Structure 1
Amino acid sequence: MALHMSYEKQQAINRLCEQFRKYNFIDPSDCEKLGVKRGLRNADNTGVLAGLTLICDVVGYDMVDGVKTPAEGKLYYRGIDLEDFVQGILAQDRYGFEELSYLLLFGILPTARQLEGFCDTLADFRDLPPYFVEDMIMKAPSPNVMNKLARSILAMYSYDDNADDVSMENVMRQCIELIACTPTIITNAYQVKRRQYDKKSMYFHMPKRGMSTAQTIMRTIRPDKRFTEEEAKLLDLCMILMAEHGGGNNSTFACRVLSSSGTDTYAAISAAVGSLKGFRHGGANIKVVEMLEYMKEGIADYGDDGQIKDFLAKLIRREAGDKSGLIYGIGHAVYTKSDPRAQILKTHAEKLAVEKGFGDDLRLLQKVEELTPVVFGELKGIDKNLCANVDLYSGLVFKTLGIPEDLFTPLFAASRMPGWCAHRLEELMFGGRIMRPAYKALSEKRAYVPIENR
Structure 2
Amino acid sequence: MIKRLAQLASESSYVDPALYAKYDVKRGLRDINGRGVLTGLTEIGDVQSYTIQNGQTIPKPGQLFYRGIDVEDLTKGFLKERRHGFEESIYLLLFGHLPSIEELTEFNTMLSSLRTLPKSFVRDMILKASSKDVMNMISRSVLALYSYDENPDDISVENVLRQCLELIARFPLLAVYSYHAYSHYFDSRSLFIHNPKPEYSTAENILHMLRPDSGFTETEAALLDLALVLHAEHGGGNNSTFTTHVVTSSGTDTYSAMSAALGSLKGPRHGGASIKVVQMFKDIKANLRNWSDEGEIRDYLKKLLHGDAFDHSGLIYGMGHAVYSVSDPRAEILRDQCKKLATEKGLEHEFDLFYKVENIAKEVIVEERKIYKGVSVNIDFYSGFVYRMLNIPMQLLTPIFAISRISGWSAHRIEEIVNKGKIIRPAYKSIAKEMEYVPIDER
TM-score normalised per structure 2: 0.98
| 1:364, distance to aligned residue in structure 2 (A) | 1.9
Q: Aligned partner of 1:26: which letter? A: V
Aligned to 1:351: 340
1:422 paired with 2:411, answer yes
Give the Cα separation in 2 of the matches to 1:48 and 1:211. Answer: 41
Aligned to 1:377: 366
Give the Cα separation in 1 of the matches to 2:350 and 2:16. Answer: 41
Question: Map of 1:166-315 to 2, 5 A cutoff?
Answer: 166-315=155-304
| 1:14, distance to aligned residue in structure 2 (A) | 0.6
Give the Cα separation in 2 of the matches to 1:375 and 1:48. Answer: 30
Give the Cα separation in 2 of the matches to 1:202 and 1:192. Answer: 7
Q: Aligned partner of 2:249: which letter? A: S
Instruction: Specify every segment of 5 or more residues in structure 1 that has no aligned partner in the other structure, as ranges.
Output: 1-11
Question: Map of 1:292-441 to 2, 5 A cutoff?
Answer: 292-381=281-370, 384-441=373-430
SS in 1 for 2:436: coil
| 1:338, distance to aligned residue in structure 2 (A) | 0.3
Q: CA RMSD in A?
A: 1.2
| 1:43, distance to aligned residue in structure 2 (A) | 1.2
Q: 2:10 aligns with which of 21, 25, 29?
A: 21
Give the Cα separation in 2 of the matches to 1:97 and 1:83. Answer: 14
Deviations 1:85-144 (A, max 9, x none): 111101111111111100100001111111111111101110111111111111110111
Question: Map of 1:138-157 to 2, 5 A cutoff?
Answer: 138-157=127-146
| 1:355, distance to aligned residue in structure 2 (A) | 2.7
| 1:383, distance to aligned residue in structure 2 (A) | 6.7
Q: Aligned partner of 1:220: which letter? A: M
| 1:65, distance to aligned residue in structure 2 (A) | 3.0
| 1:440, distance to aligned residue in structure 2 (A) | 1.3
Deviations 1:353-410 (A, max 9, x none): 1332432332222222212222122223557411011000001001111111111110
| 1:30, distance to aligned residue in structure 2 (A) | 1.5
Deviations 1:168-205 (A, max 9, x none): 10000001001101001111101100011111111100
Give the Cα separation in 1 of the matches to 2:123 and 2:98. Answer: 38
CA contact (8 A) 1:258 1:268 kept: yes
Q: Aligned partner of 2:324: which letter? A: Y
Q: 2:147 aligns with which of 155, 158, 173?
A: 158
Give the Cα separation in 1 of the matches to 2:277 and 2:83. Answer: 29
Deviations 1:290-324 (A, max 9, x none): 00011112221111221111111111111111111
Give the Cα separation in 1 of the matches to 2:395 and 2:292. Answer: 31
Give the Cα separation in 1 of the matches to 2:92 and 2:373. Answer: 36
The more displaced of 19-28 and 39-48 is: 19-28
CA contact (8 A) 1:377 1:384 kept: no
CA contact (8 A) 1:242 1:412 kept: yes
Instruction: Specify every segment of 5 or more residues in structure 2 that has no aligned partner in the other structure, as ranges.
Output: none
Aligned to 2:42: 53
SS in 2 for 1:233: helix
| 1:29, distance to aligned residue in structure 2 (A) | 2.3
CA contact (8 A) 2:33 2:372 kept: no
SS in 2 for 1:53: coil
Give the Cα separation in 2 of the matches to 1:198 and 1:290. Answer: 19
CA contact (8 A) 1:154 1:270 kept: yes
Aligned to 2:93: 104
Aligned length: 443
The percent identity for this pair of structures is 51
Give the Cα separation in 2 of the matches to 1:310 and 1:98. Answer: 44
CA contact (8 A) 1:191 1:202 kept: yes
CA contact (8 A) 1:105 1:422 kept: yes
Question: Map of 1:117-132 to 2, 5 A cutoff?
Answer: 117-132=106-121
SS in 2 for 1:206: coil
Give the Cα separation in 2 of the matches to 1:42 and 1:53. Answer: 20
Question: Map of 1:66-81 to 2, 5 A cutoff?
Answer: 66-81=55-70
| 1:221, distance to aligned residue in structure 2 (A) | 0.4
Give the Cα separation in 2 of the matches to 1:308 and 1:449. Answer: 62
The more displaced of 59-68 and 222-231 is: 59-68
SS in 2 for 1:169: helix
Q: Aligned partner of 2:19: which letter? A: D
Give the Cα separation in 2 of the matches to 1:261 and 1:376. Answer: 42
SS in 1 for 2:291: coil
SS in 2 for 1:63: strand
SS in 1 for 2:51: strand
SS in 1 for 2:409: helix
